[in-house]
């Protein structure tokens, strides 16, 4: 009797939660899809209604074809920037996190003050443009990669360092006794153990870097350097009364994070929580 | 002997450039993404490339407004500009530091094809940097003639008459004035298009303003533009949703007669013609009225120019000059006319407007032909403060008084003058 | 702490040169421009040449009436977003750690907006918040709750953007609280169950023991709020007028106008301000954690 009542009560709680949460968090995404599937004039009505003709694929291909298929170039550039930055971020920050957590000396406290500063201080845009230009990296993918790495390092290091604390010292000490060199300890022992936290760093920073638009806009101008967010940004005014295309574009650029989300949801959530809160 | 050697060298140089011009050259042309600019650029390119198959030109788009200004500035400053680019003439060009960044065209033969009044707007000292691309424009009030006929209104010659028309419109349930503050640059027109009236009231204002001797806040005629914005807000002239309405959706309201007036540049006409071909003939133009019916005239915007940055050299420079020569020719004008509805007069010697121009354009032409026109302030002074658009929105949404906004704008102007390194600031 | 007593052979496993690659990249691409900003903020700068003008830019900046509004708005935005995120996400986290069957689905749904691009979110909500046709007002009108001009009303624009920010960032806050709650040992819940009902559980177990999570949420969203730019820029560009201008958008506008020196001065003011506010906050909230850093 009580179990049945509990089950029913649980059912209602489930149903209400699902309804409210979906209304707030899912409806905007359904709206994007619906609008992206409409004709131009219909989309401009801003109504939450099914399209009279389903033109989703047509609109998406119009967006992809737009401006000499600029979108494909943009996706390629975004991919290179994201993958390049992530690789460097993981290598550089895990090395720092490793030594910093294991060896709490003056260097470590200096590093942690600098990381703290890096976490809270916003970047100085104009001087960065000036610097990139002086060293010949302005308007290159490499230049933007370096900037993204520098901006993301503090977050990555702090996340990995927190996770590092949960790896018992005994493990590396055992490796040392076996005669492993520092690089061997780092690559063979620590990196594999850091995997969950590294996945978090990869997912979170790839989303941040992929979604960043001010970075590319100012450090990477030029037709051949366009990135995904930049196409979106320039379409805001270009499609100012073609809402169906604008939303088709929104939909296209939302697909990569969606894929990321479907595959890594558990790791993101688990990783984020283990990283951000330390016991 | 020496002279002969020089001559030979020159001849060789010429023949080399002639040879290299035969090789295929591809240029990139940075153009703002408004429909009008894109269509104009494309029409020019198509006609030019048909004549010069060895040259290809691709358009690269950039945003308009302050966003675009910034991109152009940064790219020039970092030697990263496209081979040729399209940009405003007048004070915005002055802010680009043209003497250090752009190719001087003053010794090019095609300069003679340009109407003389345009040249000061693309010059610094003796150097000339651009050719007029597209048409000049009028700044004033676009209005829906159908609405005027239905309500029996007539074109106002003074601001009082304008206000009276607006009161009648309100009574009839039609929003009198379109405000599209979602695109902030559109908010400036009451101030900028009032310059004809400022010049009538205070002759020589531009020079005094440039020399740091006249201020908006202390010149009643100049302050008037801000007061008009306040009046518009307080007397509910704006249509619903005015704070977020954007430029293109706004044009639909004007074309359909849901609003009667739009303080705007005539360049909006080609967009209306494209989106609402059936209604564009309902749209007329009148000058922004001032205090006196006798001195009623239009404020004129010069066409934007096409420029070559100093980073374009060699065969690309030759090709770019050739293209600029084409733009500054009657042929170039014909190419644009074939594709784009003209928004005002061309500034190329010998070009004429087609007979079937839009009604609003012939309204504008009437002011120009009768001598009742004057260039906007940004073409007679090198200084334009970058914050004007936001200040105008602030007044037009009731957040600032005209005096506060004008005082603020004077501060903005001072900053710009200092950045330009003008004397007297 | 400075006297590491472990044998040299162990310390050698943690060599200092592991810092080097990160230090170079971070130093060149972050620290150098940041320090250079202090110099350039005292110049009239065209990127071609910089004329030293002392503190003129700072004086200018503080004369600018936009700045006071920008400062106030930045504070409102940071306080509002961090406050709302805590207030909403804590009950949500409790709900999502209860015996709900759909909890993992619901967690996922709430988290997804975190991963979506700010530009995309900004565009979507500008349309949803459209005053006469937008979905939000259509629903509100159906419920007879009025139809505010979310982004067009100067006194509402900043709040509207802040609400979208909360919508987008709620996922992180909730996830942090969830993990905080899950890390509470079961004994406490058992004890609370014996002592009394749900209120006891909330007041004497969850609330005190998820303090750390709350601090993290507040701190993260506060820093994010002070530095916010993308969402404001895509939704209102600081408008109408200057109504939703925050420090970063003021700085950005000066930059767009080509006032590079002035803009950089604004940047330096922002560095200092953020440090002055966030650093004590960090100490106040989490002394122990800071020491551990």
Q: Where are the domains of chain A?
A: 4-10+15-36, 70-276
User: Taking the CB of residue A53, how many other CB atoms lie within 10 A of it?
Assistant: 9
Nearest to B191 by CA among B330, B395, B347: B395
- B67 and B214 assigned to the same domain: no
B344 lies in a domain?
no
Task: Give all strands of the β-sheet with B304-307 in edge-to-edge order.
Answer: B55-62, B25-32, B84-87, B304-307, B130-133
Q: A218 and chain B: CB distance < 8 Å anywhere?
A: yes
Q: Which residues in chain B touch residue C153, judged by CB atoms under 8 angstroms apart?
A: 243
Q: Cβ of B397 and C154 within 8 Å?
A: yes
Residue B310 lies in a domain: yes
Closest by Cα among C213, C228, C130, C140 to C172: C213
B112 belongs to a structural domain: yes
Of C44, C154, C256, the CB nearest to B418: C44
pLDDT, residue C51, reads: 87
Tens-binned pLDDT, residue by residue, of chain B (425 aa): 455 555 555 554 544 444 444 578 999 999 988 888 999 999 999 999 999 999 999 998 887 777 788 889 888 887 889 999 999 999 999 888 899 899 999 999 999 999 988 999 999 989 999 999 999 999 999 999 999 999 999 999 999 999 999 999 999 999 999 999 988 889 999 999 999 999 999 999 999 999 999 999 999 999 999 999 999 999 999 999 999 898 988 999 999 999 999 999 998 998 898 889 999 999 999 999 999 898 899 999 999 999 999 999 999 999 999 999 999 999 999 999 988 888 888 999 988 888 888 999 999 999 988 889 999 999 999 899 988 999 999 999 999 999 999 999 999 999 899 988 888 88
B323 with B247, same domain: the answer is no
DSSP state of B133: E
Check the CA dihedral A260-A262-A267-A269 and report its sign. Answer: positive
User: Are the beta carbons of C257 and B241 separated by less than 8 Å?
Assistant: no
Any chain B CB within 8 A of the CB of A213? no
Q: Does A214 touch chain B (CB under 8 A)?
A: no
The answer, for C289 touching chain B at a CB cutoff of 8 Å, is no
| Strand ranges in B111-252 using DSSP code E only, listed in sequence order | 123-124, 127-128, 130-133, 137-144, 175-177
On whether the CB atoms of residues B140 and B287 are closer than 8 A, the answer is yes
How far apart, in whole angstroms, are the C-alpha atoms of residue B273 and residue B47?
22
Neighbouring chains to C with at least 3 Cβ pairs closer than 8 Å = A, B
Please tell me which of the candidates B241, B393, B399 has its beta carbon nearest to residue C149: B241
Q: Cβ–Cβ of A127/C34 closer than 8 Å? A: yes
CATH of domain A70-276: 1.10.3720.10
Report how far residue B305's alpha carbon sits from residue B303's, in angstroms, rounded to the nearest whole number: 6
pLDDT by residue (tens digit) across A104-157?
Answer: 888 899 998 898 888 878 888 889 988 998 898 988 999 999 999 999 999 899
Domain ranges of chain C: 61-287
Q: Which residues of A234-271 are buried (b: 16+ CB within 10 A; e: fewer)?
A: bbbbbbbbbbbbbbbbbbbbbebbeebbeebbebbbbb
C-beta atoms of C262 and B240 within 8 A: no
Q: Is residue B352 part of a domain?
A: no
Provide the pLDDT for residue A271. Answer: 55
Query: Are residues B178 and B129 both part of a single domain?
Result: no
Query: What single string gives the DSSP state of each residue in B41-70?
Result: HHHHHHHHHHH-TTEEEEEEEE--HHHHHH
Domain end, chosen from B286, B311, B339, is at B339
Interface of chain B toward chain C, CB-CB under 8 angstroms = 66-67, 69-70, 73-74, 77-78, 95, 97, 100, 181, 184, 240-244, 386-387, 390-391, 393-395, 397-400, 404, 408, 411, 415-416, 418-419
Whether residue B31 contacts residue B61, with contact meaning beta carbons closer than 8 Å, is answered with yes
**Between β-strands B55-62 and B84-87, what pairing exists: parallel, antiparallel or unpaired?**
unpaired
Distance between A240 CA and the closest CA of chain B, angstroms: 7
Same-domain status, B31 and B141: no
Neighbours of C293 (CB within 10 A): 20
A222 shares contact with chain B (CB less than 8 Å): yes
The nearest CA of chain A is from the CA of B81 a distance in Å of 8
pLDDT tens by residue, A210-231: 998 778 877 887 667 788 887 7
**B399 vs C258: CB contact, 8 Å cut-off?**
no
Residues of C in contact with B181 (CB under 8 A): 152, 239-240
Interface of A with B in 120-139 (CB under 8 A): 129, 133, 138-139
| Other chains touching A, judged by 3 or more CB pairs under 8 Å | B, C
**Mutate which of A128, A237, A240 to disrupt the B interface (most B C-beta within 10 Å)?**
A237
Q: Which of B284, B311, B339 is where one domain is finished?
A: B339
Q: How far apart are CA A82 and CA A152, in angstroms?
A: 12
Chain B contact for A241 (CB, 8 A cutoff): yes
Measured CA to CA, the distance from residue C182 to residue C164 in angstroms comes to: 28
For C:150-209, CB contacts with A below 8 A are 167, 172, 175-176, 178-180, 182-183
- Give the containing element (helix H, strand E) for B300: strand B298-301
**Co-location of B367 and B246 in the same domain:** yes
Q: Which of C48, C238, C253 sits opposite B77 (nearest CB)?
A: C48
Cβ distance A277 to C45 less than 8 Å, yes or no, reads: no
Please indicate whether, in this complex, the C-beta atoms of C46 and B419 are within 8 angstroms of each other: yes
Q: What is the mean pLDDT of chain A?
A: 85
Task: Classify the phi-psi angles of B131: left when phi > 0, otherwise alpha if psi is within -120 to 50, otherwise beta.
Answer: beta
Cα–Cα dist C4/A105, whole Å: 7
Average pLDDT score over residue span A194-207: 86
Min Cα distance C129 → chain A (Å) is 10
How many residues appear in chain A?
A: 279
CATH architecture label of C61-287: Orthogonal Bundle (1.10)
Pair type for strands B304-307 and B130-133: antiparallel
Q: How many domains does chain B have?
A: 2
CB contact under 8 A, B411 and C64: yes
Q: Does B5 map to a domain?
A: no
Beta bridge partners of B114: B348
Whether the Cβ atoms of residue B121 and residue B302 lie closer than 8 Å to each other: yes
- CATH number for position B329: 3.40.190.10
Range of the domain at B58: 21-135+303-339
Distance CA B149, CA B165 (A): 12
The Cβ of residue B33 has, within 10 Å, a number of other Cβ atoms equal to 19
Buried b (16+ CB within 10 A) or exposed e, B360-374: bbebbbebbeeeebb
Residues of B in contact with A218 (CB under 8 A): 74
| Same domain for B242 and B391 | yes
**Minimum CA–CA partner of C96 in chain A:** A17
Whole-model pTM?
0.86
DSSP reduced 3-state for C169: helix
> Which residues in chain C have Cβ-Cβ distances shorter than 8 Å to A14?
100-102
> What are the tokens at A230?
């930049």
């Amino acid at each position: 009797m009580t179990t049945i009542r509990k089950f029913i009560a649980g059912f209602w709680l489930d149903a209400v939660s699902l309804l409210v949460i979906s209304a707030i968090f899912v409806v905007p995404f359904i709206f994007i899809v619906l609008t992206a599937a409409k004709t131009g004039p219909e989309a401009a009505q801003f109504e939450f209604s099914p399209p009279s003709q389903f033109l989703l694929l047509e609109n998406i291909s119009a967006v992809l074809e737009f401006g000499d298929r600029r979108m494909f170039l943009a996706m390629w550039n975004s991919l290179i920037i994201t993958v390049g930055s992530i690789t460097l971020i993981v290598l550089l920050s895990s090395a720092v996190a490793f030594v910093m957590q294991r060896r709490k000396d003056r260097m470590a406290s200096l590093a942690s003050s600098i990381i703290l500063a890096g976490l809270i201080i916003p970047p100085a845009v104009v001087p960065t443009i000036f610097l990139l230009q002086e060293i010949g990296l302005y308007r290159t993918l490499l230049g933007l990669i370096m900037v993204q790495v520098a901006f993301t390092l503090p977050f990555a290091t702090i996340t990995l360092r927190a996770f590092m604390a949960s790896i018992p010292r005994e493990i590396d000490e055992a490796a040392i006794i076996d005669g492993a060199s520092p690089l061997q300890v780092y690559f063979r022992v620590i990196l594999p153990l850091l995997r969950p936290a590294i996945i978090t760093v990869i997912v979170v920073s790839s989303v941040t870097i992929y979604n960043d638009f001010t970075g590319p806009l100012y450090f990477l101008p030029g037709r051949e350097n366009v990135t995904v967010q930049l196409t979106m940004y320039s379409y805001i005014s270009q499609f100012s009364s073609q809402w169906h295309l604008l939303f088709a574009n929104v939909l296209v650029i939302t697909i990569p994070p969606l894929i990321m989300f479907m595959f890594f949801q558990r790791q993101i959530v688990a990783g984020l929580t283990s990283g951000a809160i330390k016991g | 002997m020496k002279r002969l050697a020089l001559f030979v060298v020159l001849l060789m140089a010429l023949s080399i450039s002639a040879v290299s011009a035969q090789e295929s050259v591809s240029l990139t042309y940075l153009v703002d993404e408004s429909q009008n600019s894109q269509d104009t650029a494309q029409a020019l390119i198509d006609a030019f490339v048909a004549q010069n198959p060895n040259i290809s030109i691709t358009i690269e788009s950039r945003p308009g407004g302050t966003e675009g200004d910034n991109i152009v500035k940064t790219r020039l400053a970092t030697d990263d500009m496209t081979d040729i680019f399209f940009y405003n003439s007048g004070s915005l060009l002055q802010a680009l530091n043209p003497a250090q960044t752009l190719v001087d065209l003053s010794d090019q033969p095609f300069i003679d094809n340009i109407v003389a009044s345009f040249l000061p707007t693309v010059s610094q000292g003796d150097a000339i940097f651009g050719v007029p691309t597209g048409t000049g424009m009028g700044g004033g009030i676009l209005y829906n003639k159908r609405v005027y006929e239905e309500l029996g209104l007539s074109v106002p010659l003074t601001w009082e008459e304008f206000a009276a028309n607006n009161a009648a419109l309100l009574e009839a349930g039609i929003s009198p004035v379109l405000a599209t503050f979602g695109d902030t640059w559109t908010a400036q027109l009451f101030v900028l298009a009032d310059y004809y009236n400022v010049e009538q009231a205070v002759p020589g204002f531009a020079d005094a303003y440039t020399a740091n001797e006249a201020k908006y806040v202390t010149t009643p005629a100049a302050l008037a533009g801000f007061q008009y914005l306040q009046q518009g807000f307080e007397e509910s002239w704006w249509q619903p949703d005015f704070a977020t309405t954007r430029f293109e959706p706004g044009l639909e309201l004007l074309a359909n007669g849901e609003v009667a007036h739009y303080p705007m540049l005539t360049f909006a006409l080609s967009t209306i013609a494209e989106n609402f071909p059936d209604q564009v003939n309902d749209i007329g133009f009148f000058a922004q009225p001032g205090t006196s019916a006798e001195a009623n005239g239009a404020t004129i915007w010069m066409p934007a120019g096409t420029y070559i940055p100093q980073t374009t050299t060699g065969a690309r420079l030759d090709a770019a000059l050739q293209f600029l020569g084409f733009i500054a020719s009657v042929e170039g004008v014909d190419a644009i006319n074939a594709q784009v509805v003209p928004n005002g007069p061309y500034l190329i010697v010998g070009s004429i407007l087609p007979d079937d121009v839009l009604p609003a354009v012939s309204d504008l032409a009437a002011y120009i032909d009768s001598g009742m026109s004057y260039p906007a302030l940004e073409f007679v002074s090198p200084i334009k403060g970058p914050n004007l658009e936001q200040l105008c929105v602030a007044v037009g949404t009731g957040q600032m008084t005209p005096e506060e906004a004008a005082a603020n704008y004077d501060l903005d102007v001072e900053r710009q003058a200092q950045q330009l390194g003008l004397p007297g600031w | 702490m400075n006297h590491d007593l472990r044998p040299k052979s162990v310390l050698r496993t943690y060599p200092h040169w592991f810092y080097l690659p990160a230090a170079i990249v971070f130093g060149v691409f972050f620290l150098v421009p940041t320090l250079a900003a202090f110099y350039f903020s005292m110049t009239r700068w065209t990127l071609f040449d910089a004329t030293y003008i002392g503190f003129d830019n700072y004086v200018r900046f503080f004369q600018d009436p936009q700045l006071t509004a920008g400062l106030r708005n930045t504070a409102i935005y940071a306080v509002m977003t961090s406050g709302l995120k805590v207030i909403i996400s804590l009950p949500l986290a409790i709900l999502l750690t209860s015996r709900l069957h759909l909890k993992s689905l619901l967690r996922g749904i709430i988290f997804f907006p975190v991963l979506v691009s700010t530009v995309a979110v900004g565009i979507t909500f500008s349309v949803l918040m459209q005053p006469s046709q937008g979905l939000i007002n259509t629903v509100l009108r159906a419920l007879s709750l009025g139809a505010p001009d979310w982004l067009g009303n100067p006194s509402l624009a900043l709040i509207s953007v802040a609400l979208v920010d909360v919508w987008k960032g709620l996922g992180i806050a909730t996830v942090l609280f969830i993990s905080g709650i899950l890390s509470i040992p079961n004994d406490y819940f058992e004890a609370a169950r014996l002592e009394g009902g749900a209120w006891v559980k909330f007041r004497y177990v969850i609330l005190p023991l998820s303090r750390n999570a709350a601090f993290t949420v507040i701190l993260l969203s506060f820093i994010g709020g002070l530095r916010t730019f993308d969402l404001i820029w895509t939704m209102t560009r600081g408008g109408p007028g200057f109504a939703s201008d925050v420090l970063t958008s003021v700085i950005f506008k000066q930059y767009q106008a080509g006032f590079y020196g002035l803009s950089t001065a604004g940047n330096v003011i922002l560095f200092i301000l953020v440090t002055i506010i966030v650093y004590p906050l960090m100490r106040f909230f989490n002394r122990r954690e800071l020491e551990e850093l």
